[in-house]
Amino acid sequence: MDAFSRPRATRTDNGARSNVIALPASEMPTRWYNVLADMPVPMAPPISPATGQPVTPAELEQIFPPQLIEQEMSAQRLIPIPEDVLDILAMWRPTPLIRARRLEEALGTPARIYYKHEGVSPAGSHKPNTAVPQAYFNKISGINRLATETGAGQWGSALAFATRVFGMTCRVYMVRVSYDQKPYRRTFMRLFGAEVFPSPSPHTASGRAILEKDPDSPGSLGIAISEAVEEAAGREDTNYSLGSVLNHVLLHQTVIGLEAKRQLEMVGETPDFIFGCHGGGSNFGGIALPFVPQMLAGEPIRAVAVEPDSCPSLTRGRFAFDYGDTAKLTPMVRMYTLGHDFIPPGSHAGGLRYHGAAPIVSALLDAGVIGAEAVAQADVFRAAELFAHAEGIVPAPESAHAVAAVVHKADELREEGREATILFSLSGHGLFDLGAYEAYLDGTLPEQGDQRKAIASAMRDLPEVSL
């Protein structure tokens, strides 16, 4: 008997007492699932702001490496993950799927609730799943420097980690309100060698234009994207990297759903409901897209993207061409949008403050393949507290939007006396978000106000596109 021996059944070997469904490392997915091969409706091409015509690969090559441009447009169903990328992902993947048994008990629901825990990654969210391949494809294309934006700081943290792994450098434009609210995210990025500026910044023409109008601008993802794109387009040695929205980002995130599907199979389950919070669509796409072939085949799987009611692009936006950024430097893509000028109210769910939505998620929503709902901030923090008490994990405020929707559904199922299997994405932990929880406990979370006027005003500036 040595210090490490213990009765087997109490360890995490998926015995009766474990709620953790661990996928063996040998079963980590080696290919990404590309939903573009199975889309039931055609995707509109992105439109160049310079020509008004579909963007050409040559235009995109100013800011992206060729492999990512190819993935953006690929119709190949399964795309191999390079060995060097798998080696890094294996630092924390496969991530656990966890049965939320104590949450079920707390809710008294007949539903079986499972969550995919992406908070175990180096940056504490799902974002490194795409930061690593993006850094890698830039590196092998001879690019050693990336510029990006970050909302809540999670994407900047993920890219700072990924560029460090491949010996590259990274500059991050961080939305001002988060820069002030979340100083330790800044420290995290700097520790991994990234340069971090609050956005709007005086370093770019786009930033200066905003500052002239409003020196106290809280910033927005749309503004920070303009700054990073401007820098990447203006420098030979620098490319741009985006943490959400684009097809290749959702592609990289499908490891989440591919693993979850296998893990549910291991315990004989298929999901009836899938929930993911929605900012730009990457963690929702990551968990839901691998189930799209089953949905299209008529299986009763309902996937729902959950957004804040203060930034309701999917539930109140218009499905139209719009710019991805405020300064209109990016291509126009067809997506659900609140208008590129919409600046969402300062919120503690910084990662969900984006005017648009992924074109893939938008097209699937428009086609009725998936659903969307909006939740209120007060519900989100109550659900987060309940989840923390039951499961012992502090969720990121973003992820807590999915938790709130799961709680609503579980309550509904209890009232109907109906069993069902719920899968959701816990996109990240909230240990860098304790300022938000402090405000919640003190009762000082800011009111978000009615955004209807601001949305209506921003919608008037949607671009005209005629193809």
Ligand X SMILES: *Cc1c(COP(=O)(O)O)cnc(C)c1O
Out of 130, 178, 399, 451, the only residue in the binding site for ligand X (CB under 6 A) is 399
Interaction with ligand X in 135-154: which residues (CB under 6 A)?
154
Based on CB atoms, which residue is closest to ligand X, 109 or 282?
282
CB of 205 to ligand X, least distance (A): 27
- Which residue, judged by CB position, is nearest to ligand X in the bound state? 428
CB of 145 to ligand X, least distance (A): 22
> Which phi and psi angles does 114 have, rounded to 5°?
-125, 140
Binding window for ligand X (CB under 6 A); candidates: 67-75, 275-283, 309-317, 323-331 = 275-283
- Residue 282 lies near ligand X (rule: CB under 6 A): yes
- Residue 398 lies near ligand X (rule: CB under 6 A): yes
Based on CB atoms, which residue is closest to ligand X, 103 or 361?
361
- Residue 281 lies near ligand X (rule: CB under 6 A): yes
Q: List % helix, strand, coil for the chain (3-state, nearest 5).
A: 45, 15, 40
Cβ-defined contacts of 451-456 (< 8 Å, 24+): 451/310, 451/311, 451/312, 451/342, 451/344, 451/345, 454/342, 454/343, 455/312, 455/316, 455/317, 455/338, 455/339, 455/342
Cis bond upstream, residue 94 (ω within 30)? yes
Based on CB atoms, which residue is closest to ligand X, 109 or 148?
148
Nearest C-alpha neighbor of 260 from the set 388, 421, 123, 102: 421
Structure tokens at 180: 């002030």
- Residue 125 lies near ligand X (rule: CB under 6 A): yes
Based on CB atoms, which residue is closest to ligand X, 127 or 334?
127
Based on CB atoms, which residue is closest to ligand X, 260 or 413?
260
> How many residues touch ligand X (CB under 6 A)?
20
- Residue 181 lies near ligand X (rule: CB under 6 A): no
443 burial via Cβ count (<10 Å: 0-12, 13-18, 19+): exposed
CB of 159 to ligand X, least distance (A): 12
Structure tokens at 361: 């998620």
Interaction with ligand X in 222-251: which residues (CB under 6 A)?
244
Contact 448, 432 (CB under 8 A): no
Structure tokens at 431: 């240990």
- Residue 312 lies near ligand X (rule: CB under 6 A): no
Q: Cβ neighbours of residue 461 under 8 Å, at least 6 residues apart? A: 339, 340, 341
The upper half-sphere exposure of residue 142, i.e. CA atoms within 13 Å in the direction of its Cβ, equals: 4
- Residue 377 lies near ligand X (rule: CB under 6 A): no
- Residue 95 lies near ligand X (rule: CB under 6 A): no
- Residue 396 lies near ligand X (rule: CB under 6 A): yes
Out of 122, 128, 280, 312, the only residue in the binding site for ligand X (CB under 6 A) is 280
CA atoms of 303 and 415, how far apart (whole Å): 21
Judged by the rule CB under 6 A, the positions of this chain that interact with ligand X are 125, 127, 154-155, 244, 277-284, 351-352, 396, 398-399, 427-428
